Structure 1
Amino acid sequence: MMILSARELCATLLDTVADRSVLIGYSRLGYRLRHRSWAPGPPPGALAGRTALVTGASSGLGQATAEGLARLGARVILLVRNEERGLRAREEIRRAVPESEVDVELCDIADLSAVDGCAARLTTRHPVLDVMVHNAGVLPAQRSESAQGHELTLATHVLGPLRLTERLRPALAGSRDARVLWMSSGGMYTQPITEDLEFRESRYRGAVAYSRTKRLQVAFAGLLARRYAPDGIGVHSLHPGWADTPGVADSLPGFHRVIGPLLRTPAEGADTAVWLAATSPAPESGRFWHDRRQRPTHYLPGQHDDPARLQRVWARCAHTAGLDDR
């Protein structure tokens, strides 16, 4: 049994209190409190010769994650919806990391047909994929639908990413240590698993839809970890805390105005994703992380997802996303 020193015990206690307080743990205060006690991170070149794909990489957390991976030597693919913004992000990353190799791939992750075409192109160009970061996100004010008629946050956060991961499974399996990361949100603590996935039975609220699908990302990470374990593919979910990104400013202007001084930089929010992608040895698959530490998947002790409901929701999402029943 590992015995903690008094200093380590105090740091652990402060970390837990900060995490449960939310305001401290999710803000830049929590990041600054914790990072002083971290062991050295992955060294320069930790991802040399490896290829990483980041969705929603044209700004904010996605761009910061891509830049962090590039700094560690990875060849980075920015998967974006808008070519102009993607090219701008690529140039900004190249200026920050002059030796970096950065590609741009166009794809609307919410459009399942577009995902198929994107996966086919990526498989041809990159037969081996080492890191996949599902970061693309939306928070619409009104209910809207994807090209296939699915509620947009569900399609963007769950269905499209599931399909893309499955289509790229052979490329991930070709890696010596593939890692799939789901960029969730602390907001997922506010919502349980629900079977009203498309908001057919309840009044639509964008923040609720966002948090529900972020809850699914965390719950599904455990199921996907088991699914992909035979191929040596690790699956991890995490949340970045409160970061100052264009998405937050546009979708939650009131929150951004009030909490602004406490928001993390995009690089601070992306830190755990970069760490999970490159740290050695590989973290345990299927876990939920924040600030380089495993976190509980429910806010209160004793809370849990109903297993039968989770399996029903998983079956529906997996079928809709085109996953087979293996």
Structure 2
Amino acid sequence: MLDTIADRLVVPGYSKWGYRLREKTWTALEPVRGVRAVVTGAGSGIGKATALGLARLGAEVVLAVRDERKGEAAKAEILAAVPGATVEVRLCDVSSPESVRRFAAEIDRLDVLVHNAGVLPQERSVTPDGHELTFATHVLGPLLLTDLLRPVLAASPDPRVVFVSSGGMYTQRLRADDPEYREGTYKGATAYARTKRMQVTLVPLLSERYASDGIAVHGMHPGWADTPGVAGSLPGFHKLTRAFLRTSEEGADTIVWLAATKPAPRTGRFWHDRRERPTHVLPTTAEKPEDVAEFWRYSKDAAGLS
């Protein structure tokens, strides 16, 4: 009951206090040697912390990054913390279909795919392929990458896909009528939260799509973590909340847990601090089936899925 109350009150549940309260009841994760994991956006913040957590458990980790210098620096940090770990750096700009296709063609074995890469632009920008940047990065890129990697994931004995969303998605409804944020005054934080809502909507859809392959699909949010992305994109929020923000490692814990815990958690669910959470807390954000269907049709076509 205390856990649920803290979650609904937001500040206690999303802060470092919520994490440290809950972790007292958790058990240590078993090693996952031989498991190969791809983590997008692994050059810093929660992505790097996720890769480090998986490497500590013995997983082979591929850092999928758009900045190879940051990727190499992250690799060096992980190897310093876990000598002998298997860590690769591969170029992958998730907002670019060409880059995603090139990256996917290089992956011949995979057990875990973590969609962590994120952007929060202050002004609306469009990719060379004509899509709004946050939508391309958080929705279209992950959709395409997962579908391209479907065969290698299906070959794994325990394949898992994790979408790293945000608690901010609770403030937004699914905008199936304007997925690319063409209407109204553009606000970066709103675009971010909208596309994070879309990621949560995708989780049960993809869970059903890949059920026949045995691929589990999970969604989660990390709470409020002190990352370079938060400090750079939301300086006001960072200044106001810095005293009780989580570390990147605390934010990444549930991602690592979803990737490594056994037996595997139930597919198609949404998690925070190792516990299933509701996908809506405000009645105004509840989506209609026809909105979900419209969003799925548009996203699938825009991502080029068959």
Calculate the TM-score normalised by the size of structure 2: 0.98
**The one of 129, 136, 139 aligned to 2:120:** 139
Matched residue, 1:290:
272
Q: Matched residues in 1 for 2:128 and 2:105: separation?
A: 19
Does 2:171 match 1:190?
yes
Q: Which amino acid aligns with 2:95?
A: A
- The residue correspondences of 1:1-326 to structure 2 (distance < 5 A) are 13-38=1-26, 40-43=27-30, 45=31, 47-122=32-107, 127-194=108-175, 195-300=177-282, 304-324=286-306
CA RMSD of aligned residues (A): 1.0
Q: Which amino acid aligns with 1:149?
A: G
- Where in structure 2 are there 5+ consecutive unaligned residues? none
TM-superposed CA distance for 1:202, in Å, is 1.9
* Cα contact 1:243–1:264 (8 A) shared by 2: yes
Q: Matched residues in 2 for 1:86 and 1:128: separation?
A: 20
Q: Deviations over 1:128-180 (max 9, x none)?
A: 21000000000000001112010000000000010000001001001000000
Q: Matched residues in 2 for 1:179 and 1:202: separation?
A: 37
Q: Matched residues in 2 for 1:314 and 1:214: separation?
A: 15
How many aligned positions are there? Answer: 305
TM-superposed CA distance for 1:301, in Å, is 6.5
Q: Matched residues in 1 for 2:103 and 2:25: separation?
A: 41
TM-superposed CA distance for 1:87, in Å, is 0.2
Q: Matched residues in 2 for 1:34 and 1:272: separation?
A: 12
Alignment CA distance shift 1:303-1:188 (3 Å): closer
Aligned-partner SS, 2:106: helix
Q: Matched residues in 2 for 1:152 and 1:310: separation?
A: 21
- Where in structure 1 are there 5+ consecutive unaligned residues? 1-12
TM-superposed CA distance for 1:36, in Å, is 0.7
User: Which segment is superposed worse, 138-147 or 234-243?
Assistant: 138-147
Runs of 4+ displaced beyond 3 Å: 300-303
Q: Give the % identical residues.
A: 58
Aligned-partner SS, 2:71: helix
TM-superposed CA distance for 1:303, in Å, is 5.9
* Cα contact 1:41–1:279 (8 A) shared by 2: no
The structure with more radius of gyration: 1
Alignment CA distance shift 1:147-1:163 (3 Å): same
Q: Matched residues in 2 for 1:248 and 1:139: separation?
A: 9
Q: Matched residues in 2 for 1:136 and 1:190: separation?
A: 21
Q: Which amino acid aligns with 1:321?
A: A
* Cα contact 1:178–1:232 (8 A) shared by 2: yes
User: Which segment is superposed worse, 112-121 or 96-105?
Assistant: 112-121
Q: Matched residues in 2 for 1:85 and 1:297: separation?
A: 33
TM-superposed CA distance for 1:304, in Å, is 2.7
Q: Deviations over 1:229-273 (max 9, x none)?
A: 100100000000000000000000011011001000000000000
Calculate the TM-score normalised by the size of structure 1: 0.92
Q: Matched residues in 2 for 1:247 and 1:17: separation?
A: 28
Q: Deviations over 1:93-138 (max 9, x none)?
A: 000111210000001110111111111122xxxx221000000000
TM-superposed CA distance for 1:200, in Å, is 1.6
Matched residue, 1:5:
none
Aligned-partner SS, 2:279: coil
Q: Which amino acid aligns with 2:62?
A: I
Aligned-partner SS, 1:36: helix
